[in-house]
């Protein structure tokens, strides 16, 4: 399906989730970043990128994506995402 519509936001994000589940971090990162390229404020992609870098023990990169996503979540008044980002940041900075 993605071949027919390479700019589909959800399909790119979903493929990133699949790659992440398979621990194919390189391809997952590519898909999540493409999702952000398609929609700069897609908070779920920032969260997944944070989790991806956290899984690789790249804490500074993880925090950067969590913090950037947090700002978009606040701007969208997405309280659930704000709380999730806040918890993720807390756990890494603790």
Burial 33-71 (b: 16+ CB within 10 A, else e): ebbbebeeebbbbbbbbbbbbbeeeeeebbbebbebbbe
Q: Residue 7: what pLDDT?
A: 87
Q: Residue 5: what pLDDT?
A: 74
pLDDT in tens, 30-84: 999 999 999 999 999 999 999 999 999 999 999 999 999 999 999 999 999 999 9
45: its two tokens: 């992609």
Q: What is the pTM of this model?
A: 0.93
Going along the chain from its start, the domains and CATH numbers come out as: 9-93 (1.25.40.10)
Q: Residue 2: what pLDDT?
A: 59
Query: Does residue 5 or residue 78 have the better pLDDT?
Result: 78
């Amino acid at each position: 399906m993605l071949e027919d519509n390479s700019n589909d936001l959800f399909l790119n994000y979903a493929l990133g989730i699949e790659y992440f589940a398979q621990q194919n971090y390189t391809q997952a990162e590519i898909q999540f970043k493409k999702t952000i390229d398609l929609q700069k404020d897609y908070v779920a992609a920032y969260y997944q990128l944070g989790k991806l870098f956290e899984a690789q023990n790249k804490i500074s990169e993880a925090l950067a994506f969590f913090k950037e996503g947090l700002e978009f979540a606040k701007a969208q008044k997405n309280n659930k995402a704000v709380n999730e980002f806040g918890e993720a940041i807390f756990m890494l900075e603790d």
